[in-house]
Amino acid sequence: MTANVAGYLLQLLAGRWLGVTGYSEFASLLAVQLLCAVPALALQNVVARELVRGASVAALRGLQWRCAVIVAVVAAVLVPLVTAALSVGVAASAAALGAAPALVVLSGEQGMLQGGRRFRALAVVLGTAGVARVAPALAVLGLGGGAAAALCAAALGIATAAVFARCVVGSPPALSGTDREALDAVDRGPSFVGVLPVLRAAQAQAALMALSSADLIVARIVLGEEDASRYALGAIAAKIAFWLPQAVGVVLYPRMAQPTHSARAIRDALAVLSGIGVVAVLGAAVAAPLAPLFAGRDYAPIEGLLWVFALQGAILAVLQGALLSAIAVDRTSLAAVTWVGLAVEVTLMLSLARSVPSLITIAVCIAVATTLIVALVVLRTADQPGQAEPQHLAG
């Protein structure tokens, strides 16, 4: 919650300080940064899963650093492409993408805490990372800095958080009996974990992140500068509803990775996520009149649409829970449904959407269809763990 609130505060204040003419660049690069965080999210899930299954800490740290190097190379290649595609500055693009390797290292350490069920320590790391990312960026924006300087400050904050997470994992305090047993089991696991499981998990995470962020990128293409900024601010409601129940997946994921508890954990996760989503949509509808007071009157035209943005985020949160369960049992081919949904969404938006209402309507409809299909398949196969895809730990 601390990390998420910090992230929303960054977007809200950036929307006010940069204005409707400057916020679109910042928001679109944050969306790109979220897409580049996909390998980090995938790594955290794989590390947690393999820790539960008995992989060694040394093997998982080796995997973490190999992934960080790969991501750094890919990020460097993407800088000129993103700069040209979004018509943004090279410095701003480099700052946004430069945070990706640090995110990988940070997420690897978080995965070890998650897989070891050290949730109190994980909470400290998550909260610290959120503040470390946002506080420097807000300071820069408050002093009049632009998008590039703010994104650079955020990247330095993420790197600092990664160092802190390594210290927490490497020098744990007195452990409980459960934590001690978890760490003892780790030392008897395999000595090498290959990148292939991360790639499989990454394509599932990439599908979800792309579906949750594509509308922000398309908005900059099909809408005018001011409407694109208004859409970006409205999307904060979607992000709140999307990330608000993140702790549900974090806590239940280790149980999803255990065959004896997987089916019950999956059903519990989807039920809780759906309930939280209903509350989030109702909250957005009630709080909508307050949005212009915080963000400025320039954003008043989207006030009546905030509940629709929240609905999109709530639906995607359920989709995230379903895909997490697929990663937990290594059944990631199910992500193909999400990729198809993404292709349909982008096609419809580019051909039909020319206003904020039409853009968010298409996004919600595709989210509903995709989530229903994936959730139904996950629930039908939840009691059949033997059908999981083959494991390839080393390779």
Taking all residues of the chain, what is their mean pLDDT, rounded to a whole number? 82
Give the model's confidence band at 275: pLDDT under 50 very low, under 70 low, under 90 confident, else very high: very high
Cβ pair 395, 196 in contact under 8 A: yes
Our CA dihedral for 58, 246, 155, 196, rounded to 10 degrees, sits at 40
Whether the pLDDT of residue 174 is over 50: the answer is: no
**To the nearest whole percent, how much of the chain has pLDDT over 90?**
28
Output 180-183 pairs: Cβ under 8 A, ≥24 positions apart: 182/51, 182/115, 182/116, 182/117, 182/118, 183/57, 183/116
Distance CA 85, CA 83 (A): 6
CB atoms within 10 A of CB 348: 18
Sign of the CA dihedral 165, 171, 176, 177?
positive
Q: What is the pLDDT of residue 163?
A: 93
Q: What is the pLDDT of residue 389?
A: 46
Q: What is the pLDDT of residue 185?
A: 44
Q: What is the pLDDT of residues 12-67, one digit of tens each?
A: 788 778 776 677 778 778 878 777 778 888 899 899 988 888 888 888 888 898 99
Contacts of 259 (CB under 8 A, 6+ apart): 329, 385
Cβ pair 370, 211 in contact under 8 A: yes
250-260 per-residue burial string, b: 16 or more CB within 10 A, e: under 16: bbbbbbbbeee
| Residue 365, both tokens | 């409809």
Cβ pair 192, 33 in contact under 8 A: no
Distance CA 162, CA 159 (A): 5
Give the model's confidence band at 124: pLDDT under 50 very low, under 70 low, under 90 confident, else very high: very high
Q: How many CA atoms does the CB half-sphere of 26 hold within 13 Å?
A: 29
Distance CA 234, CA 217 (A): 14
Whether the pLDDT of residue 391 is over 70: the answer is: no
Distance CA 104, CA 69 (A): 9
41 CA to centre of own chain: 7
Give the model's confidence band at 394: pLDDT under 50 very low, under 70 low, under 90 confident, else very high: very low
Cβ pair 345, 214 in contact under 8 A: yes
Q: What is the pLDDT of residues 139-152, one digit of tens each?
A: 998 888 888 888 89
Q: What is the pLDDT of residue 296?
A: 61
Higher confidence at residue 200 or residue 345? 345
Residue 389 is given by DSSP the state: P
Q: What is the pLDDT of residues 310-342, one digit of tens each?
A: 999 999 999 999 998 888 877 888 889 999 999
Whether the pLDDT of residue 261 is over 80: the answer is: no
